[in-house]
């Protein structure tokens, strides 16, 4: 019994260390458990793209904080048999990015406008330790884990722009390295695993696990997905409770199991609290910006982002300041009218574009009479003579002559989020500083 505090403290850290890995695997299993691409929305078999061809309906509740700036194209690649060649098309000057995440949720490559300048490129993505010859025109990316997640995002400027975006999505392709240069099509009869829960959101599945269940699940995944090179200290701590890389894990006795389960409950509550108490990101002027993409040994932050925003981009590609309060610290509500006033030198510094999206208190888009869910620099905004800009945030229309700058709000509480794509260097060096949302009625 004297070992229980020691076990519980280490199990707490182990839970948060393994939480993103388990979450990614649960997401991977569900997202790829279909016979063919496009049979079900947002899902495709391993190594094939699932394309999001349109924005969600106003009343859709499938995706939290869906963005209305880009369309997604997702692919989970299994590199254990051989490398998979990913080809990204010429975007013809359009902004896009295809971040590639390892199973620890770290972004390790981002073909796209910022890095490869929108040119057509082909990359052989290989598992750790792979070596071999590559054909001309194919560059090598060694992945930290043998399964990775490609999360393509392509700029979309509204419904009329969909055909152009679809043509770029169709230019994204994957092929086994051994079939490069040949005629190849992925099969449309992939096997479906009946043991996979296809209905329960992966996050709910993971959060329902006890501490000992999650650690045991994570131990099996560690047999497949190697830790990062700088994980040595936490691996040594886990070894002291019997959790060793390459081996299955089960608590030594009932007392240890109880301690580990208690640690799992405590660790999950800590992660959940962090997503709502403001410690998930950096606060400046009432706006919080999530810091993600890579995490080093900050395992708590990695776990927080896995729960609150799985698949977060590198800050160099996108920043996401959000708020739920006005300048006085009161919760934003559709019962009041607000203005977000940008002085000329306060307008978000983006090399690509920026937008402000409206979400209700649960993170869903808000039905409104003009079907406007986001507003930004690609819209016909009206600026003042001095270059300043006012975004009107309210439930009722401000009048037809002012609707160009209106972001409709729900009747109840709401939480707008600003997205800055390819932020300018000054936004990265000094941090995002935004004016507060002010109540005007």
E-strand ranges in 130-172 read 138-142, 147-155
Taking the C-alpha atoms of residue 242 and residue 385, their distance in angstroms, rounded to an integer, is 68
Q: Please give the pLDDT value at position 276.
A: 65
- Average pLDDT value over all residues in the chain: 93
pLDDT: which is higher, 64 or 89: 89
Chain centroid to CA 390: how far?
Answer: 29
Bridge partner list, 389:
342, 383
The answer to whether 88 and 125 have CB atoms below 8 angstroms apart is no
Taking the C-alpha atoms of residue 426 and residue 283, their distance in angstroms, rounded to an integer, is 17
Taking the C-alpha atoms of residue 421 and residue 427, their distance in angstroms, rounded to an integer, is 11
Bridge partner list, 147:
78
281 falls in which pLDDT band (50, 70, 90)?
confident
Give the tens place of pLDDT for each residue, 136-183: 999 999 999 999 999 999 999 888 999 999 999 999 999 999 999 999
Q: Give the other-Cβ count within 10 Å of 161's Cβ.
A: 15
The values of phi and psi at residue 217, to 5°, are: -60, -45
Q: Is the pLDDT of residue 3 over 70?
A: no
Q: Which residues contact 145 (CB under 8 A, 6 or more apart)?
A: 102, 103, 104, 127, 128, 224, 225, 226
User: Residues 256-261: what's their mean pLDDT?
Assistant: 96
pTM of the model: 0.91
CATH number for the domain whose boundaries are 320-439: 2.60.120.1600
Q: Which of 290, 434, 287 is nearest to 349 (CA)?
A: 434
Give the tens place of pLDDT for each residue, 211-248: 999 999 999 999 999 999 999 999 999 999 999 999 99
The answer to whether 266 and 16 have CB atoms below 8 angstroms apart is no
Lowest mean per-residue pLDDT among 113-117, 327-331, 426-430: 426-430
Taking the C-alpha atoms of residue 340 and residue 401, their distance in angstroms, rounded to an integer, is 18
CATH number for the domain whose boundaries are 34-179: 2.60.40.1610
Q: Please give the pLDDT value at position 386.
A: 97
Q: Please give the pLDDT value at position 158.
A: 86
38 falls in which pLDDT band (50, 70, 90)?
confident
Taking the C-alpha atoms of residue 301 and residue 403, their distance in angstroms, rounded to an integer, is 40
How much of the chain, in percent, has pLDDT values that exceed 90? 83
Q: Which residues contact 182 (CB under 8 A, 6 or more apart)?
A: none
| Domain 4-16+198-274 CATH class label | mainly alpha
Q: Which of 166, 165, 158 is nearest to 370 (CA)?
A: 158
Q: Please give the pLDDT value at position 1.
A: 40
Q: Is the pLDDT of residue 275 over 80?
A: no
What are the extents of the domains in the chain?
Answer: 4-16+198-274, 34-179, 320-439
Q: Please give the pLDDT value at position 2.
A: 44
């Amino acid at each position: 019994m004297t070992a229980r505090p020691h076990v519980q403290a280490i199990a707490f850290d182990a839970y948060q260390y393994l939480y993103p890995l388990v979450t990614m695997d649960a997401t991977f299993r569900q997202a790829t458990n279909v016979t063919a691409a496009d049979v079900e929305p947002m899902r495709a078999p391993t190594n094939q793209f699932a394309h999001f061809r349109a924005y969600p309906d106003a009343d859709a509740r499938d995706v939290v904080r869906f963005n209305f700036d880009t369309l997604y194209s997702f692919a989970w690649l299994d590199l254990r048999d051989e490398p998979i060649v990913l080809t990204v098309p010429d975007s013809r000057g359009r902004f896009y990015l295809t971040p590639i995440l390892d199973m620890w949720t770290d972004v390790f490559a981002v073909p796209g406008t910022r890095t490869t300048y929108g040119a057509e490129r082909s990359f052989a993505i290989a598992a750790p330790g792979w070596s071999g010859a590559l054909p001309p025109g194919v560059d090598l990316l060694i992945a930290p884990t043998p399964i990775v997640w490609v999360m393509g995002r392509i700029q979309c400027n509204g419904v009329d722009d969909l055909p152009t975006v679809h043509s770029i999505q169709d230019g994204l392709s994957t092929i086994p390295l051994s079939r490069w240069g040949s005629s190849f099509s992925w099969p449309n009869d992939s096997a479906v695993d009946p043991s996979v829960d296809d209905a329960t959101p992966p996050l709910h599945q993971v959060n329902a696990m006890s501490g000992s269940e999650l650690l045991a699940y994570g131990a099996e995944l560690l047999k497949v997905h190697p830790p990062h090179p700088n994980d040595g200290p936490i691996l040594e701590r886990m070894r002291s409770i019997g959790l060793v890389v390459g081996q299955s894990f089960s608590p030594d006795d009932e007392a240890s199991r109880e301690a580990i389960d208690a640690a799992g409950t405590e660790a999950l509550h800590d992660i959940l609290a962090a997503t709502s108490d403001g410690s998930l990101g950096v606060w400046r002027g009432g706006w919080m910006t999530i810091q993600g993409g890579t995490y080093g040994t900050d395992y708590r932050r990695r776990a927080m982002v896995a729960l609150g925003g799985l698949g977060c981009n590198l800050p160099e590609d996108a920043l996401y300041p959000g708020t739920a309060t006005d300048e006085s610290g009161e919760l934003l509500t559709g019962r009041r009218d607000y203005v977000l006033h940008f002085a000329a030198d306060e307008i978000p510094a983006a090399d690509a574009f920026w937008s402000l999206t409206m979400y209700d208190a649960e993170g869903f888009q808000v039905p409104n009479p003009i079907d406007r869910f986001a507003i930004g620099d690609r819209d016909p905004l009206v600026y003042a003579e001095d270059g300043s800009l006012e975004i009107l945030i309210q439930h009722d229309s401000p009048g037809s002559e002012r609707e160009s700058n209106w972001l409709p709000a729900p009747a109840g509480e709401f939480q707008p989020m600003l997205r800055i794509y390819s932020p300018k260097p000054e936004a990265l060096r000094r941090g995002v500083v935004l004016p507060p949302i002010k109540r005007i009625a």
